[in-house]
Chain A
Amino acid sequence: MPNITFVQPTGEAVELEAAEGTSLMRAAVSNGVDGIVGECGGQAMCATCHVYVRPEHADGLSEVTEDEDEMLDCTVAERTERSRLGCQIAVGLEHDGIVVDVPSGQV
């Protein structure tokens, strides 16, 4: 099972194993990772599962779709070139070891 690490703004890191094919958001919410809300259950409709993907882990991720792009304009914390919605990233074995930063706020 792929391993994911969520790094909080405080620097505290939470490492967890996700079922293959699950989304970053779902993995975080079902493991109670602070700061990942996932209000809309994965419809790219709420922008509350915003994460910053570390550049070294960006390769091989699915492209940002138009829907995700417009929701990323609605994040509460600043959007950067590393911004993604966790619900739109399906975690495969090839992403084992991915590290993402949790933003300072989601709502």
Chain B
Amino acid sequence: MHLRARIGLPALFVAAAVTVGGCAPQDNTSSDDAASPGTSAAAPACDKGKLATHAAGKLTIGTDKPAYAPWFQDDPANGKGFESAVAYSVAEALGYGKDKVVWQTVPFNNSFSPGAKDFDFDINQVSISDERKQAVDFSSGYYDVRQAVIALKSSPYAKAKSVADLKGAKLGAQVGTTSLDTINDVIKPSQKPAVFQKNDFAKSALRNKQVDAIVVDLPTAFYITGAEVTDAEVVGQFPNTGGATEQFGLVLDKGSKLTSCVSRAVDGLRQDGTLAKLEKQWLSDAVDAPVLK
């Protein structure tokens, strides 16, 4: 009797494991299989307001928290700030009115995780790159980014005229940003750059003179020098580093059924001048900063 119980239990366990392993995920397989080819093969119709969204009838948009100015102002749902405005314009173009938009907090690092996404698209100043495209889908670019350097006015690096002038500086940037790539690939400084979890920490370090200068995108640079670290100034912006312009894109799940629809919506907004208008409205002062040679 003892013997039987002992053999019976593992057998039961194995059987249970096989059942769980065999059945549970298969539902996903079929839906995944149906999804991926559907996207590439037959272009979906993008029926307004009737997309296969995360939550039926709603459009779920993700962004990080806190969401930073000038991209957002306090609450993403208020439509203020460039990215908030763009998000609502895209939603409108897809047939989802303001009341049908749901905002979701998505930390940057989670936006590219391979699991199921809890957003339809994520808008968080994510630059499009070929490497990243292997992990997620991007919409067409909605903003052409330039990187810029800011330094305290009292710092000798505030007078830098060229990229070479910055070589000796202790530079800082936020992790996972193309700003950091700019430091490593364009400036190639002699000191290891400081890498910060958030631009907030980079700002503190700049204020404390723990770094000589930090690299951020141009609108953020103007916002920081205009409102947050007022004794700092924009030293200059970087020239476009050959080839394609760096662009921010909306992040979608890899193989998302919505990618082509969202891209079409963004393209439409670019063509009808909406993006340019929003840029002027929210990022208007990001116009003239000397280009570093």
- Asked if A pairs with B, the answer is no
Which A residues fall within an 8 A CB radius of B?
none
